[in-house]
């Protein structure tokens, strides 16, 4: 039930040792080519592990609609790999002005939390699900901006999207924590009552993350992402969700309470920057598996099986 993101640096070691992981997750767009060594390696590992496809390019919140070429490539990959899950983000990264070529952003941008945006997101998700002939999952975003016309609380917005479209939520707990930290930091730039240290900021972010989690209906979340972040060197900078560290103590605390509320869920250890040895990711996966086993009283993990690869 616990997996790691497949990185090229670890592919050979994974094939050689086949540690007891629940699944591997890859970025869909890295495997859109027809054939080649990357796709062969993924297909090979797919004989040993379930594969989860996680995309960054569908731009599900785009008012200009889905890029049909991108969707066709994803559909071909889904047909080849038969993944256990397909996911993308509740965001947009593409605009296509009438009569002009599409423009792509270099980041996943948040959608406005309005009824109009909700309707667009639901319609695009349903189009993707109809093409893939399966429900997908959408991930809550680490957002570094907001809109003046945001009217709907984010958790209510995402619950409504899932209910109306039939998709599930990919709950990224690190995104919740990072967003909370940045709200605290922004408030501190404009008030004298700002938290005096990181510990206080983390406590406030933890409370905000748990408030979000406790409002989620049981059964709506299909997967969890766990990752770490790095504190900025300057106090007037935002915390960036760079997936460059081990899961923080706050992250593990929020994860434990999430499992208590929502039950055992497929969980991914994300690590995208400063990739460590495979043993580090396996250790994080072991901690997650042990958490699930302890809370749900299930045989999710036997620590002796994980070894020290």
Mean of per-residue pLDDT scores for the chain? 91
Q: Distances in Å between the alpha carbon of 131 and those of 191, 204, 209, 264?
A: 49, 42, 34, 29
Question: Six-digit token pair at 163?
Answer: 């209910």
pLDDT at 158 over 70: yes
The pLDDT tens digits of the residues spanning 28-57 come to 999 999 888 889 889 999 999 999 999 999
- pLDDT computed for residue 195 by the predictor: 57
* 33 vs 97, more confident: 33
User: Alpha helices, DSSP H only, in the chain?
Assistant: 8-17, 37-45, 68-81, 115-132, 154-165, 173-189, 198-214, 249-262, 278-296, 303-306
pLDDT for position 196: 55
- Give the tokens for residue 167: 């998709």
* Element spanning 163, H or E: helix 154-165
Asked if residue 79 lies in contact with residue 34, where contact means CB atoms within 8 angstroms, the answer is no
Contact criterion met (CB below 8 Å) for 282 and 253: no
* pLDDT of the residue at 136: 98
Could you tell me the two tokens for 148?
A: 């003046």
Q: Encoding tokens for residue 170?
A: 């990919």
Model pTM score: 0.92
Among 31, 37, 21, 1, smallest CA distance to 278 is for 21
- pLDDT computed for residue 304 by the predictor: 43
In the chain the first and final C-alpha atoms are separated, in Å, by: 19
Mean pLDDT on 261-272: 97
Q: What mean pLDDT is predicted for residues 134-147?
A: 93
pLDDT band at 107 (very low <50, low <70, confident <90, very high): confident
**Residue 111, both tokens:** 């959608």
Q: Using CA atoms, how far apart are residues 229 and 254, in angstroms rounded to an integer?
A: 15
Rounded CA separation 194/98 (Å): 45
For residues 13-29, give the mean pLDDT: 96
Lowest mean pLDDT among 3-12, 57-66, 226-235: 226-235
Of the pLDDT bands very low, low, confident and very high (cuts 50, 70, 90), residue 188 is: low
Residue 280: the pLDDT is: 97
Query: Looking at residue 303, what is its pLDDT?
Result: 42
CB 222 within 8 A of CB 265: yes
- What does the DSSP assignment read for 219-265? TSEEEEEE---B--SSTTS--B----SPPPHHHHHHHHHHHHHH-S-
pLDDT at 223 over 60: yes
Which pLDDT does position 93 carry in this prediction?
86
Phi-psi region of 297 (alpha: psi -120 to 50; beta: other; left: phi over 0): left
Q: Is the pLDDT of residue 193 over 60?
A: no
Q: pLDDT exceeding 90 applies to what percent of the chain?
A: 74
Please answer whether residues 9 and 30 qualify as being in contact, where contact means their C-beta atoms are separated by less than 8 angstroms.
no
**Residue 36 pLDDT:** 87
Given a cut of 50, whether residue 146 has pLDDT beyond it is yes
Q: Are strands 91-95 and 103-110 parallel, antiparallel or unpaired?
A: antiparallel
Domains of the chain: 2-306 (3.20.20.150)
């Amino acid at each position: 039930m616990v997996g790691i993101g497949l990185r090229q640096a670890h592919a050979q070691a994974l094939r050689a040792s086949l540690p007891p992981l629940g699944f591997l997750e890859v970025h869909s767009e890295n495997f859109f080519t027809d054939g080649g060594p990357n796709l062969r390696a993924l297909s090979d590992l797919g004989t040993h592990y379930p594969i989860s496809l996680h995309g960054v390019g569908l731009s599900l919140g785009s008012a200009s609609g889905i890029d049909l070429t991108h969707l066709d490539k994803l559909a071909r990959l889904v047909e080849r790999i038969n993944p256990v899950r397909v996911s993308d983000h509740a965001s947009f990264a593409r605009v296509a002005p009438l009569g002009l070529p599409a423009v792509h952003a270099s980041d996943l941008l948040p959608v406005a939390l309005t009824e109009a945006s909700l309707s667009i997101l639901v319609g695009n998700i349903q189009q993707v699900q109809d093409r893939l002939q399966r429900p997908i999952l959408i991930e809550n975003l680490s957002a570094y901006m907001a809109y003046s016309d945001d009217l709907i609380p984010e958790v209510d917005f995402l619950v409504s999207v899932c209910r109306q479209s039939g998709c599930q939520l990919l709950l990224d707990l690190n995104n919740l924590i990072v967003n909370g930290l940045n709200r605290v930091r922004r408030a501190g730039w404009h008030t004298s009552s700002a938290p005096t240290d990181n510990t206080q900021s983390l406590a406030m972010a933890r409370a905000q993350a748990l408030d979000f989690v406790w409002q989620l209906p049981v059964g709506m979340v299909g997967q969890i992402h766990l990752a770490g972040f790095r504190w900025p060197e300057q106090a007037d900078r935002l915390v960036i969700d760079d997936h460059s560290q081990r899961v923080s103590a706050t992250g593990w605390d929020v994860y434990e309470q999430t499992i208590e509320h929502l039950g055992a869920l497929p969980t991914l250890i994300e690590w995208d920057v400063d990739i460590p040895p495979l043993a580090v990711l396996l250790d994080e996966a072991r901690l997650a598996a042990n958490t699930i086993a302890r809370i749900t009283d299930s045989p999710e993990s036997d620590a002796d099986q994980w070894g020290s690869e």
